Amino acid sequence: MTDHYQKIKNIFQKARSEGRDFLLEPEVYQIFEVIGLKIPAHFFLPRGTTISDSSLAQLPTDKVVVKVVSPQILHKSDWGGVKITTKDKDHIGHLLTVMEKEIRAKAKTAGFLDSLEIKGFLICELVPYENIGLGTELIYGVKLTREFGPVLHLGWGGKEVEFIHRLLTPEGTGLTVLAEDKSSLDLEKTLEKNPIIEKLCRPFRGQSPIIKASYLVKTLRNLSSLCSYFSPLNAGAEFSIEEIEANPVVISNHKQVALDGLCRFSSRQWPRVHPPPEAIDFLLHPRSIGIIGVSKEMNIGRIILQNIINAGFPAEKIMVIKPGMKTIDGCRCYPHLANLPQSLDLFIVAIPAEKTPPLIEEITLQQKAKSVILISGGIGEKKGTEKIEQNIKTLIEKHRQEKGKLTPILNGGNCLGVFSSPGHFDTTFVPAVKIYPSPRPKKRLVPLAFISQSGALMISILSNLPFLQPAYGISIGNQIDLTASEYLNYFADRDNILILAIYLEGFREGDGWRFIQAARRFLQHPNRVIIVYKGGRSAFGQEATSSHTASIAGDYHIFEQVMKQEGIIVAKNLRQFQQLIMGFSLLVGKRGEGTRLALITNAGFESVATADLFQEEDVTLSSFSSPTKAKLNEILAKAEITQLQDIRNPLDLTPLADDYVFTQVVETVLKDDEVDGIVVSPVPMTTALNTLPPSSPIKENFTKPGTLVKELIRLFHHDSKPLVVNIDAGEVYQPLVDFLQQQGLPVFRKVDEATRFLQCYLKVNIKI
């Protein structure tokens, strides 16, 4: 521990000895000095004492700021606890009397006059500072979140900070990052395009920079390191900073001065014995499987058993706990867990919640399984079952601390199950006929792991994408033991997974921080992507807080900003989540050299709408090269289309373009080095294109050689550039959509969605 941190620890210890879990402002000032913020010249005047001439002489300004110091008053301005007056003993003395009287009157109205304690007053110099409008006042704050640990925020500050932040976009409000021991280079890169840097650290409308960016970065780094040390994630720290805030911070003589501050602390710890990552291999690639909860009649356990067998897992490697029976569905039965002849790699528990704790204890004590999938529902969610969940957690972690003992890892409870294509098993309890159409379409195995807190969401999306077969589908449920971060950490070391799709509703304590560490490991490898959708946004973390930072850096805002800074794609809604899964899965191996898009359509409205999108959402529009323009002119002139449309991007071929012309145009644009990806959007109602199946009444057939559909399939599979298709039409064209998807092409139903996706894909593609 550095001398500075020891000094801060001593401050916390003193406050704790006085029964406080917060610091008084003079104590907070000491922390600000440690992180590099300047503070006003000041002195503390205990209540009932007289101002000395020597104390007043320390203040260099003719006017002073008088602030109340009270354990019950954190936001002094709201209580009339901040006043400005001349540096005169009589004026200040009179002001103190008036201020205390006003505060006590307000406390009486608020109902806490009896508990109000005014320890004294802080007398500070009135700091002169630069007034540049927005940016004059800043806020540095750290909020300890249950999910991510300490989160740091730098933004626009002052009394109206919440109002300002409601008016701005998340990107315009400042910087929100995890508090870590980050290097100054990392933070400098993160801040590079931030509006605060633009306003304060670069020439702005003829005004010279008023502060160096390196100064801001140094302060952020120091604050980040401080709160990373005093954190529940640091097992060696006696105290955790719950929240600390400097607001406002102003610029005076090119230095940052903190005019006000608060700090709350605790002794929170988040101890946890984590499951070994390598043990997940037993769960996802078991050599033997056991199950309990199977009935003679069809029940959840029986469905799971049949799904395991139907997925290709050998029946002779499956053991069923079923008294009174020798075999069921070709699998051997045993009357009790103790009768199992060996320790199993995976054991499925599909019995009522109240019966699970003794079973888990028996599995653990008898070392009968290396991994467990706990299907049982209601654990921890239904009122009265919280104790069941806690008992299981305590049991698992207690045994894990004892070296030399086999303690199973546990997935669930309240989970739908797990399927593993490499492991040849499926422990979900929904029959395949309830998910996929019959006959089942040919599925394309993709390097995707789908991790979901909601099993229903997972199978709903897969039912909508029946042509995709993820390598793994993992319903994690309550995350009693294994969490999303543990699986992410596991897949970071597995070359067969390039895409992680993760649906989250919440994290265990500190697991958001571990999730980010695992995400960094996963994304270090080339050609990888993480797609996340966050559910339960409004209920995410509702702890009471006292700082402005807590209100402006809301819980979902923190989630979104932290994820995006790590290069994780955050889906805005469930529809986009599904589209991202589909698109990235089908474009595996496709690369563009940049982010320049081309749109080829046969409808004017799509051309106009997409041109608007390019301008409004910073989508990059490519310019066709001269040879491409010449070739397109030649193609369209022969088709007599050039007299109707100019050669530009987006390119409208009009409904006159037939299969041959449309194909030639797409092939020409694909070859253009100025184009990195293409959206092909044939509005299918034109009679010039074959867009109906062979059974159509007008004798069309989109499957015959030479059609645009067949040629798009050929071009897609023979060119490395990403290409997506948009079919904006009704149910009659669903066979066309299905056919293209079966052949591996990403198909969208609205041109703006197709364009947004491809731009997202190209941006991620460039980074990886």
Residue type present at position 420:
S
Complete DSSP assignment for 147-197: TTEEEEEEEE-STTHHHHHHHS-GGGSEEEEE-S---HHHHHHHHTT-HHH
Q: State the pLDDT at residue 155.
A: 87
What confidence category does residue 641 fall into, taking pLDDT thresholds of 50, 70 and 90? confident
- What confidence category does residue 5 fall into, taking pLDDT thresholds of 50, 70 and 90? very high
Both 437 and 557 in a single domain? Answer: yes
Instruction: Write out the H or E segment, with its range, that includes residue 474.
Output: strand 468-475
For residue 423, being part of any structural domain is answered with no
Using a 10 angstrom Cβ sphere, with 0-12 exposed, 13-18 middle and 19 or more buried, the burial of residue 117 is exposed
Task: Note whether residue 273 is domain-resident.
Answer: no
Same domain, 333 and 303: yes
Is the distance from CB of 310 to CB of 428 less than 8 angstroms? no
Both tokens of 424, joined, read: 């040849």
Identify the domain boundary among 415, 450, 466.
415
Q: Residue 328 in contact with residue 403, Cβ under 8 Å?
A: no
Q: Tell which of 83, 101, 126 closes a domain.
A: 126
Burial 662-695 (b: 16+ CB within 10 A, else e): bbbbbbbbbebebbbbbbbbbbbebebbbbbbee
Q: What is the mean pLDDT of the chain?
A: 89
DSSP summary character for residue 103? H
Calpha distance 460→706 (Å, rounded) = 36
The answer to whether the bond into 650 is cis (omega within 30° of 0) is: yes
597-608 pLDDT, tens digit per residue, is 999 999 878 777
Kindly tell me if the per-residue pLDDT of 169 is higher than 80: no
- Kindly state whether residue 32 falls inside one of the protein's structural domains: no
- For residue 154, give the CATH number of its domain: 3.30.470.20
First to last CA, the chain: 38
Selection from 269, 272, 178, 231 nearest residue 482 by Cα:
272
Q: Are 381 and 447 in contact (CB under 8 A)?
A: no
Residue 238 lies in a domain: yes
Is 634 a domain residue? yes
- What is the distance between the alpha carbons of residues 375 and 416, in angstroms, rounded to a whole number? 6
Task: Say whether both 56 and 189 belong to one domain.
Answer: no
Does residue 47 lie within any of the structural domains? yes
**105 and 167 housed in the same domain:** no
Q: Could you report the per-residue pLDDT of 180-217, keeping only the tens digit for each?
A: 887 776 788 888 878 888 888 888 777 788 888 889 99
- The dihedral built from the CA positions of residue 495, 767, 458 and 539, taken in this order, carries a sign that is positive
Compute the average pLDDT of residues 361-373.
93
Report if residue 18 sits inside a domain.
Answer: no
DSSP state of 316: G
Position 433 scores a pLDDT of: 86
Tens digit of each residue's pLDDT (9 = 90 or more) over 95-152: 999 998 999 999 888 888 888 889 999 999 999 988 887 778 899 999 999 899 999 9
Give the count of domains, the chain.
5
Which ranges of 450-483 does DSSP label H, i.e. alpha helix?
Answer: 455-464
Which tens digit of pLDDT belongs to each residue from 533-574?
A: 998 776 444 444 455 444 444 578 889 989 998 999 999 999
For 19, 665, 676, 692, 736, the CA distances from 730, given in Å and listed in that order, are 68, 25, 30, 12, 11
Whole-number pLDDT of residue 199: 83
Residue in the block written with tokens 């260099």:
60
**Domain CATH number, residue 91:** 3.30.1490
Same domain, 260 and 354: no
The residue written with tokens 């109906």 in the block is 692
Confidence of residue 388 (pLDDT cuts 50, 70, 90): confident
Q: Which of 738, 748, 727, 736 is nearest to 692 (CA)?
A: 736
pLDDT over threshold 70, residue 236: yes
Q: How far apart are CA 716 and CA 745, in angstroms?
A: 7
* Pair (403, 438) in one structural domain: no
Same domain for 613 and 762, yes or no, is yes
> Is 668 within a domain?
yes
504 in the same domain as 384: no
Q: What is the CATH number of the domain that holds 561?
A: 3.40.50.261
- Cβ distance 219 to 128 under 8 Å? no
Q: What are phi and psi of 220, to 5 degrees?
A: -60, -45
Nearest of 299, 200, 262 to residue 73 by alpha carbon = 262
For residues 231 and 365, state if they share a domain. Answer: no
Same domain, residue pair 496 and 396: no
- Percent share of the chain, pLDDT over 90: 63
- Residue 185: the pLDDT is 66
Tell me the mean pLDDT in the region 168-185: 76
Q: Are strands 468-475 and 723-726 parallel, antiparallel or unpaired?
A: unpaired
Report which of residues 379 and 243 the model is more confident about.
243
Q: What is the pLDDT of residues 445-470, one digit of tens each?
A: 999 999 999 999 999 999 999 999 99
Q: Do residues 642 and 571 share a domain?
A: no
The single residue listed with the structure tokens 């993709």 is 446
User: Is the pLDDT score of 173 beyond 50?
Assistant: yes
Using DSSP's 3-state secondary structure scheme, residue 593 falls into coil
Q: What are phi and psi of 609, to 5 degrees?
A: -60, -40
pLDDT in tens, 291-339: 999 999 999 999 999 999 999 999 999 999 999 999 999 999 999 999 9
Q: What is the pLDDT of residue 551?
A: 43
Q: Which domain holds residue 363?
A: 292-415
- Where does a domain end: 101, 126, 151? 126
pLDDT at residue 115 in the model: 87
The pLDDT assigned to 541 comes to 42
Tokens of 591: 């690369």
pTM: predicted TM-score of the whole model, two decimal places: 0.90
Task: Verify cis geometry, omega within 30 degrees of 0, for the bond prior to 413.
Answer: yes
User: What's the pLDDT score for residue 384?
Assistant: 62
Q: Please state the rounded mean pLDDT for residues 680-690.
A: 94
Question: Do the beta carbons of residue 138 and residue 199 sit within 8 Å?
Answer: no
Q: Is 480 exposed, middle or buried (0-12, 13-18, 19+ CB in 10 A)?
A: buried
C-alpha radius of gyration, the chain, whole number: 32
User: Domain check: are 615 and 701 in the same one?
Assistant: yes
Residue 280 reports pLDDT greater than 60: yes
Percent of the chain having pLDDT more than 70?
A: 92
Non-local CB neighbours of 15 within 8 Å, separated by 6+ positions: 21, 22, 23, 24, 27, 265
Strands 63-69 and 42-46: unpaired
Instruction: State residue 107's pLDDT score.
Output: 87
pLDDT at 544: 41
